Amino acid sequence: MSADLPLDDLRRHGHEVVDYLVDYLARVEGLPVLPAVTPGEIKGLLPPSPPLTGESMDVVLADLDRIIVPGLTHWNHPGFFGYFAVTGSGPGILADALAAAFNNIAMMWRTSPAATELEEVTLDWLRQMLGLPAAFEGVIYDTASMASLCAMAAAREVATDSAARQYGLAVGARLRLYTSEHAHASIEKAAITLGIGLAGVKKIPTDAEFRMDPDALARAIAEDRAEGWRPFCVVATVGTTSMSSIDPIPAIADLCAREALWLHVDAAYGGAAAVVPELRWVLDGCDRADSLVVNPHKWLFVPMDCSALFTPRLDVLRQAFSLVPSYLQFAQMDEVRNFMDYGPQLGRRFRALKLWFVFRAFGVDGLAERIRNHVAWAQEFAAWVDKSPRFERLAPTPLSLVCFRAVRDDFNEGDLNKLNEHLLDAVNRRGRVFLSHTKLGNRYALRLAIGNLRTTLAHVRLTWDELNAALDELNPG
């Protein structure tokens, strides 16, 4: 018995896999974005127990094609416009394959000097691309959910003068964090995780363009202080998930400075736009943030998962989380960066490699050009919506996300919601494109999120045609 797959077999199957995945990317556009499977259908095709003896990779790869791929939602499809569109780009795929082969764990400098230093360098490249100050240092996390959680833990650490780390929150103040009513759900999940609780999160109302209202924020903080709460953190968003609104960071930063609150900016999606010179304004004021997260796995064409946190206060994160057991100590420990020190997770994949591959393959100008196109196409789609009597836009379109709905004069809001739900369902069932939805107040809104690298203007136009055709069917005459 060979211990691992023999290298000759790995080579042969590796070449097959390369051909398979390239062919997949070539043909994915012909597949329905959402698979036509029902709950339990895939499970029913898989044996209930594992095989006792090893099987040939030929069989496994055939089953992949026969059972798994037909049940995938194709996120790497150029017609994927749901949630936020992402990309497993060619350079990123190559890097992830290599990372799995190296299988090195980037927890400490010693366990992978090149991975550690490449993480420092590529994050500094990204910092420069975003126009953030040199004092901002970076850490890669798996997701923005974790990056924001760690930033909030750092804020908690400062607010409790390190009592949180030592004694927990049971003996401490009632901490409160402020974020917009349109903030990502991960902020509330982090508050749950951190022992702050949902009651420790105050949702601040937004203006007509869905941006956090700094006056309402100031009032909430004052009221809370009067009631014995301990305000400790504001999470502002650059590019909210529902409608890509951009909170007024400069005004919020003023307030945070005045109130001595940690300012965390969730720019998981929107931050990438700052790579485009004429869109750099999206991060205005963020040089005054205490932390900011941008997801290269969202709009920077890096495969899942890779989320970058930047902060001028990396020492506070370290203070919050560092805990080095004797079995991990090594001589040069204090001279180097050990990325395990900045969060709850010890094990860390070699994620910097795909950042390096993607940044080098596309270059800063190349990345900017691609993001610029996505924004331009969203504006074009928004203009079609605005010109059409059958549709209306429900939110501004500062970036590459369009929120809109079908309208009919003779329908009330309830009817419109139903119509748009059916419309979305009809378009998604046709399978050529996939859009998602949100609720804006009581209104059911359709979301077109442009972000996949292989999407072209033709796919955006196709979406418009599909929407109109589906609406024709729902709205005859």
**Using the 8-state DSSP alphabet, how is residue 302 labeled?**
P
List 31, 364, 376, 462, residue binding a copy of itself (CB under 8 A): 364
List 124, 224, 254, 287, residue binding a copy of itself (CB under 8 A): 124
Q: Measured from the CB of residue 348, what is the shortest distance to a copy of itself in angstroms?
A: 8
The b/e string for 335-356 (b: 16+ C-beta within 10 A; e otherwise) is eebbbbbbbeeeebbbbbbbbb
Transcribe 57-71 into DSSP letters.
Answer: HHHHHHHIIIIIGGG
List 128, 215, 281, 413, residue binding a copy of itself (CB under 8 A): 128
Q: Does 442 bind a copy of itself (CB under 8 A)?
A: no
E runs forming strands in 273-345: 291-294, 307-311
List 32, 79, 81, 115, residue binding a copy of itself (CB under 8 A): 115
Q: Is 445 left (phi over 0), alpha (psi -120 to 50) or beta?
A: beta
Distance of CA 47 to the CA centre of its chain: 34
E runs forming strands in 326-453: 391-393, 401-406, 434-440, 443-449
The interface with a copy of itself within residues 135-154 (CB under 8 A) comprises 142-146, 149, 153
E runs forming strands in 317-400: 391-393
The interface with a copy of itself within residues 266-305 (CB under 8 A) comprises 297, 301, 303-305
User: What residue type is 58 in one-letter code?
Assistant: D
Q: Measured from the CB of residue 100, what is the shortest distance to a copy of itself in angstroms?
A: 4
The interface with a copy of itself within residues 192-251 (CB under 8 A) comprises 192-200, 241-242
3-class secondary structure, 330:
coil
The interface with a copy of itself within residues 390-419 (CB under 8 A) comprises none
Mark residues 342-361: x for contact with a copy of itself by CB under 8 A, - for none.
--xxxxxx---xx-xx-xxx
Residue 236, φ and ψ in degrees, nearest 5: -100, 155
Q: Stretches 80-88, 255-263, 385-393, 466-474: which one binds a copy of itself (CB under 8 A)? A: 80-88
What CA–CA distance (Å, rounded) separates 317 from 123? 17
Q: Measured from the CB of residue 55, what is the shortest distance to a copy of itself in angstroms?
A: 5
The interface with a copy of itself within residues 3-62 (CB under 8 A) comprises 3-5, 7, 9-11, 13-15, 17-22, 24-26, 34-35, 37, 39-43, 46, 48-55, 57, 59-60
- Which one, 65 or 473, has the nearer CB to a copy of itself? 65
